[in-house]
Chains A and B, each alone.
Chain A
């Protein structure tokens, strides 16, 4: 079974702090994604990566950056956290090519105070 893990289930940070959210997948997937989930808005794509050191902006990249130094790990970085970044963050991975199934991690609920 594919396993996607995220470093924290719950995180509380202060405004202005730098925040790192880590995601690891164990199935050698090429593609990895970061979404945020807000009530009534569903999932919105922040960034994705289709290979090591490659990244592409999603629909809402402002205020975020990402890092993919190793194939299995995709990090989301909030350079200076703000209260409007309080949300549930979901990481996902997909093999790539014609393999379309996307696997999700359990999510990190981030609260910025």
Chain B
């Protein structure tokens, strides 16, 4: 299909790990992104991965990329209440267009 797909909701307990999954569409996408949107705010770039990598780690964040399956995931270790937000997966497609998923709303329970 044409869509970047991700599940709409995820709920975890504080201190647990969160894993947000995404499937993208264009096998020739050069960059894949995770954006975070806090309530009432715009999107903030969290991290991105170049398509020739299969993993990127940045403090509590780990991005895994499976190019064969066109699957991207974001793992947040030791999830905190401040991590509650909507997380968007996005791909930089071959036509230089950025395509976004519908967003996953992460709820962190104390």
Please classify how large the interface on chain A is, using the bins under 10, 10 to 19, 20 to 34, 35 or more: 10 to 19
Please report which residues of chain A, range 51-101, place their CB below 8 angstroms from some CB of chain B when the two chains form the complex.
90, 92, 100-101
Across the interface, do B97 and A104 meet the contact criterion of CB distance under 8 Å?
no
Cross-interface CB contact of A102 among B30, B40, B98, cutoff 8 Å:
B98
Q: Is the CB of B92 within 8 A of A100?
A: yes
CA of A104 to CA of B45 in the docked complex: distance in angstroms?
9
Contact B45 A102 (CB under 8 A): yes
CB contacts (< 8 Å) of B43 on chain A: these are 43, 90, 92, 104
Most chain B C-beta atoms within 10 Å of own C-beta, residue among A43, A90, A104, A106: A43
Complexed CA–CA distance, A70 and B44 (Å): 25
Answer yes or no: B8 CB below 8 A from chain A CBs: yes
Main secondary structure of the interface of A (DSSP, over half): strand
Interface-located stretch among B10-18, B52-60, B73-81, B100-108: B100-108
5 extra A-B contacts, CB within 8 A, seeds A100-B30, A100-B92, A104-B35: A4-B42, A42-B101, A42-B103, A90-B43, A92-B43
Q: List 24 A-B contacts (CB under 8 A).
A: A4-B42, A9-B40, A40-B102, A42-B4, A42-B88, A42-B101, A42-B102, A42-B103, A43-B43, A43-B88, A43-B100, A100-B31, A100-B48, A100-B92, A101-B45, A102-B98, A103-B45, A104-B35, A104-B44, A106-B40, A106-B41, A106-B42, A107-B40, A107-B41
Binding site for A on B (CB under 8 A): 4, 8, 30-31, 35, 40-45, 48, 88, 92, 97-98, 100-103
Q: Which residues of A contact B (CB under 8 A)?
A: 4, 9, 35, 40-43, 45, 90, 92, 100-107
